[in-house]
Structure 1
Amino acid sequence: MSAGPETTNISSLGKGDGLHQQVLASFPLCDMTEEDLTLNPQFCKLLATLAQHVDKTGLTVQLKTELDKAEQKLQSQRSHWLRSEILHRGLQEMSQDHCVRKHHTIVPPDQNMFYETMQKSMLVAQCVRQLDPSNTTNQDQPSVLGLTSQHLMELMPLEKNVQRMRRSLPHQLEMHLKEKCLSLLSYYQPEWENESEGLKTIKLSHLSAQLDKEKKRAESLKETCRENTVLLQRQTQLYLSELTKCIQLLQSLILDHRLKIQTDLDGKKLDYFEGKCELVLQKIKTEMVEIQLDTYKVDSISAHRKIREKLESELKACKAEKQAVELKLSSFEILGKEFESLAEEYCRLRQEIEMKNWALKEFTKYNDK
């Protein structure tokens, strides 16, 4: 029964590529691509269902509501603290400006009394705040040097001076803050520095709205930059994926056609080396002819050539005779060791016959003489 609403919710988000795009838009911080969602359809459906219960940052609706309330409360307390801090720092700056002014110009006595009363009041108030324990500290802890708030309040200026300072303080503080705002206006728009004070005051009233507008514009640009960064990362991943596919296709084409191309290349290289070898041989022959012409005369070269031809023919005849003798010898070796003894006896008898013939020829020559 629970599968029906879930299917309805998923189908309401879109189908196919539309569903993938909405899932990616719902989870911009996740490092996913459409290919990942296509390969994992069940995970894509899970994310589509989960997108109805969480926001882009991954927070649930209830937690987001509580976080917004806490953020509003924090902003309220922060604004209250900032107002107090701005006033306190403004008073400190006024006191510092008065101290600097005293060393450069003559300050009226009433202003000296005003700033001295303000400084003493601020110092006593700060010391009282340091001595007063807060709500989180132990009320029974010993005070510093045995001092209490009553002891410090005795150091306050005269009451009439304090009352006079309090009556003049709002106006003085307003003048100081106005001067700071005008300085901020001159920094924000330097071309307005030479304008009249009335015109500056009018433009100053719109400065807060302009700054708020600029802040919102900067935040919008920051958000746009973040979205463009996420989009760029996705496009980079897609580009790298397509580039990897192209490289794989190129590798397959190279592997398929490498043998054919290599064969053609080897044939061309072989033809080149054959032609180069033939050229080298012709050059060697040319050098040999030049050496012969430089060393011998034409008649000598012709005679040497004939001698060489005769020697080569005799060498050829000797080789043929050697081959015939080796053939006969191999045929005799087939007969075995018994024929070897007969051959030795035959050789011995031939030697004796040759010796006797030689002796007979010598004896005949001697008788003839």
Structure 2
Amino acid sequence: MSAGPETTNVSSLGKGDGLHQQVLASFPLCDMTEEDLTQNPQFCKLLATLAQHVDKTGLTVQLKTELDKAEQKLQSQRSHWLRSEILHRGLQEMIQDHCVKKRHAIVPPDQSMFYETMQKCLLVAQCVRQLDPSDTTNQDQPSVLGLTPQHLTELIPSEKNVQRMRRSLPQQLEKHLKEKCLSLLSYYQPEWENESEGLKTIKLSHLSALLDKEKKRAESLKETCRENTVLLQRQTQLYLSELTKCIQLLQSLILDHRLKIQTDLDGKKLDYFEGKCELVLQKIKTEMVEIQLDTYTVDSISAHRKIREKLEWELKACKAEKQSVELKLSSFEILGKEFESLAEEYCRLRQEIEMKNWALKEFTKYNEK
């Protein structure tokens, strides 16, 4: 039975892209994209139905009503507390201003009596409140040094001075608050500082409305900024997803194109390197010929030829001598081991003869000197 109204509510939100946009607008804090809603139509319908029962922050209608009532009550209590706090601070500021003024100028006695009486009354009231917390808590608190509020009421000034202070207090407090408001007005609009007091008073009556208007404008700008931030984040995610798809498509195109032309490219590279190697080899040969031409002149070539001929003749002579020596050695080997001992003895004697000839030459040179 309940499926009919829900279907009607969903269909009343819109279809296709309109439904997606309304769902995204109803849940700005959710990290969703239109693509997510397109891929999950049932989830989109669920969110569209849920949007009829909750607000943008996710609170139900009943909870939102109770929260608004609690906020109104809190604002009322806050306003009451702020009024009391403002009056209390205003009185303290008046007392401080009086103390400063008393140090720099002579103050009339009745005015001094007024501020002294007010200061004592404020101090006694503050102490009584500290000793009797029944207005703020339901728990009993132990007394401080055995004092009770009745002990402090004895410190209140005389009734005559209190009555006189109360009669003058509204006028003095109004004057003080008016000066503070005028200073606030001068801070808010410095160009109004030199205007007349009557015109300042008139503009002061509109200051609250102006400040409230500025506050609402600031809140509106903050809300707009927040919405723009959410929209920017959503658009950034969409842009990144599209950019990722484009990059993937580009990568696939690059790979396909590279595979197709890789063979031709390798062949062209091979031909290029072969030609380059051939050119380098020809250049090396040219450099070698130039070096030979610079190194070997006609005279040096003829000299080298003569040296070569002489070396070849000596080589032939050495080969012939080698062959004769090898023949002699082969004939000596036939004689056996006895000839080997004789050959060794012959070598030893030859070495001794050479040593003695050298010593005889050295001795002869020394005698001649």
Moved over 6 A (4+): 298-369
2-structure distance, mates of 1:340, 1:292: 54
- Contact 1:90–1:177 (CA under 8 A) maintained in structure 2: yes
Consecutive unaligned residues in structure 1, runs of 5 or more: none
TM-fit CA distance, 1:367: 63
Alpha-carbon distance change, 142 to 290 in structure 1, aligned in 2, over 3 angstroms? closer
How far 1:343 sits from its partner (Å)? 42
Q: CA deviation at 1:354?
A: 46
Which deviates the most, 93-102 or 144-153?
A: 144-153
TM-score relative to the length of structure 1 = 0.79
Aligned partners of 2:106, 2:10: CA distance in 1, in Å? 80
How far apart in 1 are the matches of 2:239 and 2:9?
Answer: 33
Partner of 1:86: 86
Alpha-carbon displacement from aligned partner over 1:111-136 (angstroms, at most 9, x marks no partner): 10000000001111111111223157
Paired residue secondary structure (1:323): helix
CA contact (8 A) 1:114 1:165 kept: yes
Name the SS of the counterpart of 1:142 in structure 2.
coil
CA distance in 1, matches of 2:178, 2:288: 110
What's 1:150 paired with? 150
SS of 2:123's partner is helix
Distance in 2 between residues matched to 1:326 and 1:233, nearest whole Å: 104
Deviation at 1:46, TM superposition (A): 0.7
- Relative to structure 1, the CA distance from residue 141 to residue 213 in structure 2 (aligned partners, 3 Å threshold; closer, same or farther) is closer
CA separation in 1, counterparts of 2:187 and 2:70?
Answer: 35
Matches within 5 A, 1:1-369: 1-134=1-134, 137=137, 142-296=142-296
Tell me the C-alpha RMSD between the 2 structures: 11.1
- How far apart are the structure 2 equivalents of 1:2 and 1:336? 134
Residues 1-21 of structure 1, C-alpha deviations (whole Å, 9 max, x = no match): 332222111111111111111
Q: Is the 8 A contact 1:53 1:60 kept in 2?
A: yes
**Which digits, 9 at most, give the CA deviation of each residue in 1:177-200, with x for residues without a partner?**
111111111111111111111111
Deviation of 1:145 after TM superposition, in Å, equals 2.4
Q: Deviations over 1:72-104 (max 9, x none)?
A: 111111100100000000000000011111111
Q: Is the 8 A contact 1:292 1:301 kept in 2?
A: no
CA separation in 2, counterparts of 1:332 and 1:264?
77
Q: Deviations 1:276-324 (Å, cap 9, x if unpaired)?
A: 2122122122123223333445799899999999999999999999999
- For residues 224 and 165 of structure 2, the distance between their equivalents in structure 1, rounded to whole angstroms, comes to 51
Shift of 1:269: 2.7
CA distance in 2, matches of 1:362, 1:261: 90
Q: Is the Cα contact below 8 Å between 1:23 and 1:47 reproduced in 2? A: yes
Distance in 2, Cα, partners of 1:250 & 1:320 = 84
Q: What percent of counterpart residues are identical?
A: 94
Structure 2 CA distance for partners of 1:136 and 1:296, relative to 1, 3 Å: closer
Distance 2:338 2:63 in 1: 119
CA contact (8 A) 2:55 2:61 kept: yes
In structure 2, the CA distance between the partners of 1:355 and 1:219, relative to structure 1 (3 Å rule), is closer
Bigger drift between 285-294 and 166-175 goes to 285-294
CA offset digits 1:7-48 (Å, max 9, x no partner): 111111111111111110111110000111111111111111
Counterpart-to-counterpart distance in 2, 1:301 and 1:118: 132
Unpaired runs of 5+ residues, structure 2, are: none
Distance 1:212 1:349, change over 3 A: same
Question: Any conservation in 2 of the 1:37–1:43 contact (CA below 8 Å)?
Answer: yes
**Any conservation in 2 of the 1:23–1:51 contact (CA below 8 Å)?**
yes
Q: Distance in 2 between matches of 1:100 and 1:258?
A: 88
The change in CA–CA distance for 1:351 and 1:222 in structure 2 (over 3 A counts) is: same
Residue 351 of structure 1, CA deviation: 43
- Contact 1:131–1:144 (Cα < 8 Å) also in 2: yes
- State the distance in 2 between where 1:16 and 1:335 align: 124
Change (3 A) 1:346 1:223: farther
Distance 1:90 1:366, change over 3 A: closer
